[in-house]
Amino acid sequence: METSVERLEGDRVRLTVTVPAETVDAAIDAAYKEISQKLRIPGFRKGRIPKPIIDTHVGREAVLADALERLVDETYPQALSREDLRTIEAPDTGELEALVPGQPYTYTAEVAVRPELTLSTPDDLVVYAGPATTSEREIDAQIEHYRERFATLEPVDRGVQTGDFVDLSFVGTVDGEPYEGNTVDRYLYETGRDLMPEEFERALIGAKAGDKVVAEFEIPETSSVPEFVGKTARFEIDVHEVKAKVLPELNDEFAASVGGFDTLEELRDDIRQKFDATKATGRAKRIEVLALDLVSSRLEGEIPEQMIEGRINTMTREFFENLEQRGITLRDYVEATGVTVEQIQADIRTHAESRVREELALEALFRAVGLEVSDEDVEQALLGMAEGDAEQAKRLRAQLESAGTLPLLKESIAQNKAFEWLMANVEVRDEEPPAEQPAEKKAEDRPKKRRTKKATAEEGSEG
């Protein structure tokens, strides 16, 4: 088989495939054999029907058309592997001429291929990952969190202040009429948290134990009970007791009560070690995220919509497969999460666009810094997929070439090489990012891991 490629406008190519006569004849023979196995003619055994009889009953043109379809289906993927083409859509072969037994056959296919976009620059790759170690301010904040947990409430002989806890009872009315649940008896109310309207808390401020106060106001439009809006709410409140939150003192005794430490400094050291370990665990992933975002932000050129749609289809299929594995329906998922189908579709599109952009950016980086995929790289990848079995690796290569997916394996190798180069060459600064650095994506918005060579090869030519 002979192949050649002509570059057309944009990302389109014209692939020319010439199939030798013996391959044409083999395709015709295979078509006759298949029809002979299916055809039922009295007096002839299945699979033993002569070609002239088949021509009479089926038609020679129909047999040759079947053979042509078989020929193109088999040789087109092989041609993609030979020319190392990564297509993103089905080919347009136009009107194909009929096969002629004993003669070679040539056909052409026009198709869009994966674009080779560029980066604005592969230089000055700097990401700001934030401090690598825990600051004293962070430790102080954790200490304050512990103090809040171990705080006590103690009665005070003074008026209510914001942040106090008030043991109270009240009776409420709306336009002078009681409503369901309008009476509350001995409730410990925490001020300063906007649990009740501002007028309610304002009435409490300054009140002492034993006082009776009244809060009265017009119910706003933000009320959860629409029929009350615009009416007058009145609360007659009895203040039984005022309690203030008392935080424990910062001393060795506090450290012992928190975690059995001998000294406050030991508690601080323990917080520092745990926070540092947590930062170290997430830091590597954070750097990867920021580096990929940085390279993606430098990608120049238009991303074909076919690539995004193809990835959307793949991710949508994976989404439903995941639901099926978990034994839940889409309706169950929507009810449990509160998201709409439209939100799910929008999220999948966003993630699809992000992943395609990342991959194209890595490929652009691969070319910009002069990396290459060698035959040894391909052989090592195949050997890894075959779990070290050399013979299986050879068979696997033949399968990928026949299926037209060998270029996808090379694509995956190129992306991984570019990613390794990126992580080895990006400069990481222990500072907070400036405003212009691309924002870090949420963890759930990211692929869980780099795309493996095996997964890539198994995707096939979805385009």
Q: How far apart are CA 172 and CA 183, in angstroms?
A: 6
Q: So what's the pLDDT on residue 130? A: 86
Retrieve residue 266's tokens.
Answer: 């030991």
Mean pLDDT, each 10-residue run in order, the chain (463 residues): 95 97 96 89 79 89 95 96 94 95 97 96 93 92 94 95 95 94 94 90 95 94 88 96 94 93 95 92 90 96 94 96 94 92 96 96 97 96 94 95 95 97 95 61 41 42 39
pTM for this prediction: 0.70
User: What's residue 463's pLDDT?
Assistant: 38
pLDDT of residue 459: 43
Q: What is the pLDDT of residue 50?
A: 87
Phi first, then psi: what are they for 172, rounded to 5°?
-110, 150
Burial per residue of 303-331, b for 16 or more beta-carbon CB atoms within 10 angstroms, e otherwise: ebebbbbbbbeebeeebeeeeeeeeeeee
Neighbouring CB atoms inside 10 A of 232's CB total 13
CA 114, 117, 122, 126 dihedral sign is: negative
CA 104 to CA 261: how far, in whole Å?
Answer: 86
According to DSSP H, which parts of 369-405 are helical?
375-385, 390-403
> Which residue matches tokens 């997929």?
385
Helix axes 136-149 and 264-297, enclosed angle (nearest 10): 120
CA 102, CA 64: separation in Å to the nearest integer? 13
Q: What is the pLDDT of residue 185?
A: 95
